[in-house]
């Protein structure tokens, strides 16, 4: 059975580009004047914003069931799982450090100062109240209080308040409990297996609904662009380049400097081997915009690098939920960018909380179509941005997201390959004697399988 997206021959980024061009044309030609029986660009803008609201509504249950499904169905040996977790944690901490350094030293969001305010007055129904804007600056007195405020008070509280951290914590606890009960009662039969099948089915339904919503995302971009250009002209999009440059700079520093350096110094794979023999997987991810769809190519590239099949499968197949450096880096940087654009002076404690929300959300969206687009509203909400700002800014960001999305996918695949190399290096190191030279460990790596 074909998915809904299979009936549309054009990829999403092409549809979005066409939508942007059509929206620009409609906004320039008609402005705020009525056409087609009284239809106005402002009304198209309202319809477009409703799609963004749907994405935000679907994100919380989708991430919740995605984590439950992954925990129930995935089996990782304890020792290898511990190594995988440590490597992924180090990688994402470095990614976040790069992102925070760029946003605090360069402060590219200041170039948008005044433009987001302008957008809020241009997009119908998105002007926030003074109280909502002031609440962003208010907060707890310490980082501990920031974190404690995200602990859910009731089981329903994270879902009603869009508390992404609370939802993920709840999903992890319930998923771990179901996994323990499943192991005790056996893989087949019993109430636990019935619950596991129900979770898998609900998750499948949510992914299907997401595909339907993604089908109308280009229409949402078309409507919002037409409404904005109709009121202000094309000048409102002139500052998009600074957002694009900032996001790509963070992704490039992490992927082209940190990854090859660690693969060389720790994994004993030179940049020529890591980047040269991994180029097929990287370019496939960039072209198809999916690290998950690139897994077969990634495994082939790792085989050419003489990485053991066990390490390659663990990193690229099982560990894909954790190797989302591209998504987590982008989400955190985008949230801080918009906060700077609105003039919010976020303390380091709140910036760390945004980073934490990005990491947690990124770990729960592996395999979900357009994952970066799904969790962006939730991370922006974790930054304390009012809903009106989020709803108005996302369609603007989406006009260049098709470029950033491909860079994110490439980074995620490079992360998969690095994790596999480091896992393999750890296996080789443990298999050799303490007196063994590093060169001997490197030559022993290909022999392991």
Confidence (pLDDT) at 20: 83
Residue burial 336-368, b: 16+ Cβ < 10 Å; e: rest: bbbbbbbebebeebbbbbbbbbbbbbbbbbbbb
pLDDT in tens, 139-149: 444 555 655 66
Is pLDDT of 398 > 80? no
Is pLDDT of 174 > 50? yes
Is pLDDT of 384 > 60? yes
Map out the domains of the chain as residue ranges: 4-447
Portion of the chain with pLDDT greater than 90, in percent = 18
pLDDT bin (cut points 50, 70, 90) of residue 353 is: confident
Q: Domain 4-447 adopts which CATH fold?
A: 1.10.3860
Confidence (pLDDT) at 303: 92
Is pLDDT of 389 > 60? yes
CA gap 319, 323 in Å, rounded: 6
**Where is pLDDT greater, at 278 or 16?**
278
pLDDT in tens, 91-109: 989 999 999 999 999 999 8
Query: Which residues make Cβ contacts (< 8 Å) with residue 230, sequence separation at least 6?
Result: 26, 27, 30, 31, 32, 40, 41, 42
Is pLDDT of 120 > 80? no
Give me the chain's average pLDDT, please. 77
Asked whether 327 and 63 are in contact (CB, 8 A), the reply is no
pLDDT in tens, 212-238: 887 888 888 888 788 877 776 666 667
CA gap 346, 156 in Å, rounded: 29
pLDDT bin (cut points 50, 70, 90) of residue 263 is: very high
CA gap 377, 387 in Å, rounded: 9
């Amino acid at each position: 059975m074909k998915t809904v997206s299979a009936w549309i021959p054009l990829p999403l980024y092409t549809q979005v580009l066409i939508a942007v061009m059509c929206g620009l044309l409609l906004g320039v030609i008609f402005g705020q004047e009525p056409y087609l029986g009284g239809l106005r660009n402002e009304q198209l803008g309202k319809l477009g914003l409703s799609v963004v609201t749907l994405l935000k509504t679907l994100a919380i249950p989708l991430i919740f069931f995605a984590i439950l499904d992954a925990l129930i169905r995935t089996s990782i040996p304890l020792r290898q799982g511990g190594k995988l977790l440590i490597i992924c944690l180090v990688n994402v901490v470095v990614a976040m450090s790069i992102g925070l350094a760029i946003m605090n030293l360069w402060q590219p969001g200041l170039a948008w100062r005044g433009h987001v305010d302008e957008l809020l007055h241009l997009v119908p129904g998105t002007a926030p109240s003074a109280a909502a804007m002031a609440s962003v600056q208010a907060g707890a007195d310490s980082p501990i209080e920031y974190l404690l405020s995200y602990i859910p008070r009731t089981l329903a509280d994270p879902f009603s308040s869009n508390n992404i951290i609370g939802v993920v914590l709840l999903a992890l606890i319930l998923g771990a409990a179901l996994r323990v009960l499943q192991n005790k009662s056996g893989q087949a039969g019993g109430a636990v297996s019935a619950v596991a099948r129900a979770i898998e089915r609900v998750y499948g339904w949510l992914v299907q609904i997401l595909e339907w919503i993604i089908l109308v995302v280009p229409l949402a971009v078309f409507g919002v662009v037409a409404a904005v250009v109709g009121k202000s002209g094309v000048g409102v999009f002139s500052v998009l380049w600074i957002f694009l440059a900032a996001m790509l700079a963070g992704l490039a520093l992490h992927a082209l400097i940190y990854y090859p350096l660690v693969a060389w110094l720790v994994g004993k794979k030179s940049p020529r081997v890591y980047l040269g023999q991994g180029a097929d997987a990287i370019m496939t991810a960039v072209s198809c915009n999916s690290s998950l769809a690139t897994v077969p190519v990634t495994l082939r590239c790792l085989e050419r690098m003489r990485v053991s099949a066990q390490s390659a499968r663990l990193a690229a197949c099982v560990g894909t939920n954790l190797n989302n450096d591209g998504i987590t880096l982008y989400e955190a940087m985008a949230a801080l960018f918009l906060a700077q654009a609105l003039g919010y002076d976020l303390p380091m404690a709140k910036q760390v909380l945004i980073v934490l929300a990005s990491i947690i959300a990124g770990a729960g969206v592996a395999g979900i179509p357009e994952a970066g687009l799904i969790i962006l509203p939730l991370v922006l909400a974790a930054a304390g941005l009012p809903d009106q700002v989020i709803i108005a800014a996302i369609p603007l960001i989406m006009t260049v997201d098709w470029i950033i999305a491909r860079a994110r996918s490439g980074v995620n695949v490079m992360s998969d390959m690095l994790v596999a190399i480091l896992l393999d290096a750890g296996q080789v190191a443990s298999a050799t004697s303490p007196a063994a030279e590093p060169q001997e460990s490197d030559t022993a790596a290909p022999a392991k399988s």
